[in-house]
Amino acid sequence: MADQIEARCPECEAAESATGDPVTRRELFRAAGGAALAATAAVVLPDIRAYAAPRIARLPQTGVPESAVRTLYNSLTEKQKAAVAFPWAHEKRMMVNANWEIVKPTIAETFTADQQDMVRAILKGVTSEEWYPKFQKQMQDDGGGLGNYHVALFHDDKTDKTEWVLTGRHVTMRCGGDPADNMAFGGPIFYGHATKFNEDPGHPGNVFWYQAKAANEVYTMLDGKQRQQALIALAPEESAISFRKPGQPLPGVPISALSHDQKAHVETVMKDVLSPYRKSDVDDVLRDLKASGGLDAVHLAFYKQDDLGNDGVWDIWRLEGPAFVWHFRGAPHVHTWVNIAKKV
């Protein structure tokens, strides 16, 4: 992975103002005002009717999101399938990005009220109880709410496997992947948040910044030699989350070289980064991490690049092992890329 001189966020630049400053989607929604939003709603209504599906008599129980994924797929009309359904082997099922539309129509444009309830049930089912409202806040801030995001469904007619993929600004999330797949979370995921495009040092209001605070607490515990190993001048490209070839060196300080109390703090960081997700996904991550050598096979790196406020609280950091990458970038706002497997 090549080092990058400058961290950029072109995928988040939905537009530019007359002054040349980036304008986020959230800011565009704010600027639109009530009248413009009402006009937009009027335009969307015909699309909703065009995709309309029969009313679903009974919604699946929350807490079993895979059941909701199958029920949602089975409820699709032929017109809806043409818009949002793909074969299992389609390349988009494993794609990940910071800001993308897996399909053009939004959730609000595509699905009936009952189907939108299922989309919410799936999102609630794959997140922890504490974090479901926080994800809702993030999507409201970044994209105007869940209805403006995009869902695609991937189905295998032979096995009846179905996977749900949610995308939009600062989200790539999956549910219903093949349990036999060599991937935690059903594939690479992404999460992020921008309270404003260029956030202030300390990232006030950012729902994910607590993770960086926990990681930086580990840095403060390192001795001089460990800090030399852990702190690197330039960060890799944030989306470079492919696993390294066997034998290739990993960046940063090895967790195996840390003291007992330092390791305990790294375990706290792991708990923090996993806390937004449901227990079964957390268990998959821990299982896959163990299969590729456990926490002792992971390295922790911090990057001097893009230190907001030059305060020595490192905005970019990375946990990386043989089949484990968790890359956190906090400048100009939070982006996090995740790729975890049982083995390379």
Domain that holds residue 111: 15-180
> Has residue 334 been placed in a domain?
yes
pTM: 0.84
Tell me: do 176 and 318 sit in the same domain. Answer: no
Longest dimension (CA), the chain: 65
Tell me: do 149 and 44 sit in the same domain. Answer: yes
Q: How many domains does the chain have?
A: 2
pLDDT 10s digits, 215-267:
999 999 999 999 999 999 999 999 999 999 988 999 999 999 999 999 999 99
Tell me: do 127 and 256 sit in the same domain. Answer: no
pLDDT 10s digits, 285-343:
999 999 999 999 999 999 999 999 999 999 999 999 999 999 999 999 999 999 999 87
pLDDT 10s digits, 20-74:
333 344 343 333 333 333 332 222 223 333 344 444 434 443 348 999 999 999 9
Task: Please check whether residue 194 is in contact with residue 14, taking contact to mean a CB–CB distance below 8 angstroms.
Answer: no
Tell me: do 146 and 225 sit in the same domain. Answer: no
Tell me: do 226 and 129 sit in the same domain. Answer: no
pLDDT 10s digits, 139-198:
999 999 999 999 999 999 999 999 999 999 999 999 997 766 778 999 999 999 999 999
Tell me: do 248 and 176 sit in the same domain. Answer: no
> Has residue 108 been placed in a domain?
yes
Beta bridge partner(s), residue 190 = 172, 337
Q: Is the pLDDT of residue 12 over 80?
A: no
Residue 13: what pLDDT?
A: 54
Neighbour count for residue 47 (Cβ, 10 Å): 15
Tell me: do 55 and 160 sit in the same domain. Answer: yes
Q: Which of 17-26, 83-92, 102-111, 307-316 has the lowest mean pLDDT?
A: 17-26
Q: How far is CA 154 from CA 102, 166, 185, 341, in A?
A: 11, 12, 15, 20
> Has residue 8 been placed in a domain?
no
Tell me: do 153 and 22 sit in the same domain. Answer: yes
Tell me: do 138 and 260 sit in the same domain. Answer: no
